[in-house]
Structure 1
Amino acid sequence: MPAGPPGPVADSDARGGLRAALSGLTTRGRSFLAAGVAAAVCAYVLGQDDLLRVGLLLAVLPLVCVTALHRTRYRVAGSRRLSPSRVPTGSEARVHLRLDNESRLPTGLLMLQDRVPYVLGPRPRFVLDRVEPGGVREVSYRVRSDLRGRYPLGPLQLRLSDPFGMCELTRSFGAYDTLVVIPRTERLPVLGSAGEASGYGDGRQRSSALAGEDDIIPRGYRHGDDLRRVHWRSTARYGELMVRREEQPQRARCTVLLDTRRIAYRGAGPGSAFEWAVSAAASALTHMLERGFSVRLLTDEGSAVPDGNADGFAGSTQESADSAGLMMDTLSVVDHSDGGGLSRAYDVLRGSDEGLLVAFFGDLDEEQAAVAARMRQRGRGAVAFVLDGEDWTRGGETASPTPVSDRLRLLREAGWTAMAVSPGAELSRLWRQAGQGDSDAQSPAAGTTTGHSGGWS
């Protein structure tokens, strides 16, 4: 339930009938009712009028409490606010609950309870003694999760109780909120001239004309154009007013490819190879957007995020901010695909021949390594981080060269800057080595193998 005005209102007689109210009798209320009935029966059998009066008193008291609580007409509104609504794995979010008594009567004892998934922690409960007419009560609790995902919060439940503790009724607010737990990102180093030479930089604007800021190709005059931009030579040639076309800025592009094939990864849990790849892809996306790139997220199934534009890339700065949230939301719920190949991603990449390509691959057989090698096209910088499933399951203890060495060699021969990722490797270190074109080849288990020197171009 959003912040601001109070949310949905729980009316004490809005739901259920008297039968539902009777089901809310507490243990004390049921005991009083049973004792009263038993005393009344004994009084009838023994002919004791005084005992009958006691029995009637014991039996009527919980019924009176049920009726009074059921017919009480105070109105209570509840709202929920998340701060923040999107958090990385392992980080805490605070949930703020607000309760407004909108009736003219004070409330009795209230218990406020919010439903949360078990992965976020125990279900929070708060006891509110009394809320005066028009009064407000605010409470908060914290949630955290080590697993990515979208987790619903709600509905908010309010438990009403009479002063004698004979009956408790539960009212629910219908609104839900969603906490998005995104992958944890790692801050990556800014690379030097080697990376910028291959199109890795601050997303500087490129002009079509070498001699100035404007395109020399004119266009027709439009209402509101500055007359100082009139191109008189073209005006005389075409016989109508022509103006110089303004510069069309173009941001440097980057595609982050995430291999999600189920057969490409082994193991599960926060420390698995797949979770490392997802977090690394999120780190690369965040870093490239901060550097001014127009970025898209591509999976092995060929689906691109964002997909609002024809080319699949984020556009303006505002669109990039929205697209960043969309891509992180996508990564928060991304799961293994049942596909066995990278051909769909290759079909998408084949249609564009510019920009940087950063790929995170799982296990590659010979056929898929060949498909990945063809993704690197002329004029495009390409970096591949390859996770060897066998290496990850053994905890990095690789006694002999593995097939990943052959896959890396094939990628490097196609022009990729290829890196093998060992369990627990730091992406920032691998990123720096890839950008600098470190040619000091080590074992794949060390997570530092590179084979293409001279930057990412």
Structure 2
Amino acid sequence: MTAPGDPHRGGPQRARGGPWAALGGLTTRGRSFLAAGIAATACAYVLGQGDLLRVGLLLSVLPLVCVLVLYRTHYRVASSRVLTPARVPAGSEARVQLRMENVSRLPTGLLMLQDQVPYVLGPRPRFILDRVEAGGRREVSYRVRSDLRGRYPLGPLQLRLGDPFGMCELTRSFTTHDTLTVVPRVEQLPPVRLGGAATGFGDGRQRSLALAGEDDLIPRGYRYGDDLRRVHWRSTARHGELMVRREEQPQRARCSVLLDTRRLAHEGAGPDSAFEWAVSGAASVLLHVLERGLSARLLTDTGASVPDQGGDGFGGSGPSPESTDAGGLLLDTLAAIEHSDGAGLSRAHDRLGGEREGLLVAFLGGLDEEQLAVAARMRQRAGTAVAFVLDPGWWARSAGRLDDRGEGRLRTLREAGWTALAVTPGASLAELWRRADRERAAADAAPGTGGWS
């Protein structure tokens, strides 16, 4: 059985081992016929019964002929698989469409299809195609669903061939497969204004020096090609050389989302665990700030950053195809993120940089005294800092009430300048987002700090 060389279509490969290996495809009926035939032939030989011998030979040869004919079958069948959508939120369904095409000149016999699907997506789908005419097509579809994020392979597709008598079934697999990406759930966040040093293109925006933009009275030395109309004569007279007005342009507001992935900082597993809540929260914040025109990046406790290269991060120009692509890349990263074996947050602290600007949103797990001090120092590297703390002890409490030790940790973060909120099971990120805005506005009412929405 072969298939054409289209890269978007695959053909099943012949089972290895030759015809003798194909004997393993005998069904219960085929094995029964073969055993009965051998027994009848032996009895006929012992008893000298010619009629019984003919019956025994018929029973023995029929399943062997079915195996040989089925093994020698040379269908040319092509398959394709389409995922709709290829990226789906956890808890939502995706549709998988399979297309089988008979590209040979002969009709096929009975075909049984089985697609290889991970158990978390549901049972393996099976279909039966009675007969596909030459050049004909058949389409079947099934749905998959997972409450756990991740990247799941679909395929390869297995094709089971059967003879009309039901004596033998052979399984041949296609070589192609696809990947379904189950991304974290994203919660729509309300537009709020959190105070910060770098806050976008509206009120309170920062500016940085560049080669084009509005005039700035701070002069610089003349460079070949500068417009002479920008010569600053007063500075030229004072320095004794040509000086031109420096220029500036708006600086994009930045947001860093820190996700604490330390295994020891979280307890439990599954879609309702604290770690999955943190991953979903990080995804929600990243997409929210991208939609609002901020530059966003994802940072973990290991020091890994997306994007990894230098610069402000993704986005920064409001809703656009570029921000949509950036959001998709961030979601793909969060879909595959796992616990780390690290013990501290120092690498993330070093990766933040030394400038006190931008917005920092952190999703933190359990913090001991040492890591609490590191988190407190992180506040000095951001203009505005919001922390959602998911302590394992708090998360395990059904009432969601913090003890004195937990309140002390939050108090330490707040004294360092964080807007720190405790997260308990069932908490809504949208409500915590509004609460963070209210607490930040009450704690930092200094004029001219601006905000973002």
Structure 1 111/352 Cα, relative in aligned 2: closer, same or farther at 3 Å?
farther
Aligned-pair distance for 1:254? Answer: 0.2
Q: Which residue of 2 aligns with 1:393?
A: 396
**Equivalent residues of 1:91, 1:145 under 8 A apart:** yes
Within a 5 Å distance, the mapping from 1:205-354 to structure 2 comes to 213-214=213-214, 220-221=224-225, 230-232=227-229, 250-307=251-308, 309-311=309-311, 313-314=313-314, 319-354=322-357
Q: State how far apart, in whole Å, the 1-side matches of 2:351 and 2:31 are.
A: 68
CA–CA separation in structure 2 for the residues paired with 1:337 and 1:402 = 29
The aligned residue for residue 447 of structure 1 is none
Equivalence for 1:452:
443
**Letter of the aligned partner of 1:180 in structure 2?**
T
Q: Distance in 1 between matches of 2:15 and 2:436?
A: 64
Cα contact 1:219–1:244 (8 A) shared by 2: no
CA contact (8 A) 1:359 1:384 kept: yes
> 1:205-254 deviations in whole A, cap 9, x for unaligned?
866589x9445678655xxxxxxx955455999xxxx9999975532110
Amino acid at match of 1:365: D
Equivalent AA in structure 1 for residue 366 of structure 2: D
> After superposition, where does 1:412-427 map in structure 2 within 5 Å?
412-427=414-429
Q: Distance in 1 between matches of 2:380 and 2:224?
A: 37
Change (3 A) 1:15 1:379: closer
In the aligned structure 2, how far is the partner of 1:129 from the partner of 1:243? 82
Write the distance in 2 (CA, Å) between the matches of 1:154 and 1:102.
21
Aligned-residue offset at 1:178: 1.4
**Which residue in the other structure is 1:431 paired with?**
433
Deviations 1:260-308 (A, max 9, x none): 122222222222211111111111111111111111111111111111x
The answer to whether the aligner puts 1:364 opposite 2:355 as a matched pair is no
* Equivalence map 1:154-169=2 (5 Å): 154-169=155-170
Residues 89-117 of structure 1, C-alpha deviations (whole Å, 9 max, x = no match): 11111111111111111110010001111
Identity among equivalent positions (%) equals 65
May I ask how many residue pairs the two structures share in their alignment?
Answer: 426
Q: Does 1:407 align with 2:398?
A: no
Cα-to-partner distance string for 1:309-351 (whole Å, 9 max, x where unaligned): 3136125765543332222222122222222211111111133
What is the alpha-carbon distance in structure 2 between the residues aligned to residue 247 and residue 101 of structure 1? 65
In angstroms, what is the RMSD of aligned CA positions?
A: 3.1
Q: Secondary structure at the match of 1:377?
A: helix
Residues in 1 aligned to 2:81 and 2:201: alpha-carbon distance in whole angstroms: 40
Q: Distance in 1 between matches of 2:33 and 2:377?
A: 80
Preserved contact between residue 191 and residue 436 of structure 1 (Cα < 8 Å):
no
Give the aligned residue type for 1:40.
Answer: T
Kindly indicate whether the alpha-carbon contact (under 8 Å) linking 2:109 and 2:163 is maintained by their aligned counterparts in 1.
yes
Distance 1:267 1:188 in 2: 26
Give the match for residue 239 of structure 2: none
Distance 1:300 1:371, change over 3 A: same
TM-score after normalising by structure 1: 0.84
Higher relative contact order (CA 8 A, sep 6+): 2
Which structure 1 residue ranges, 5 or more long, are not aligned?
222-228, 440-450
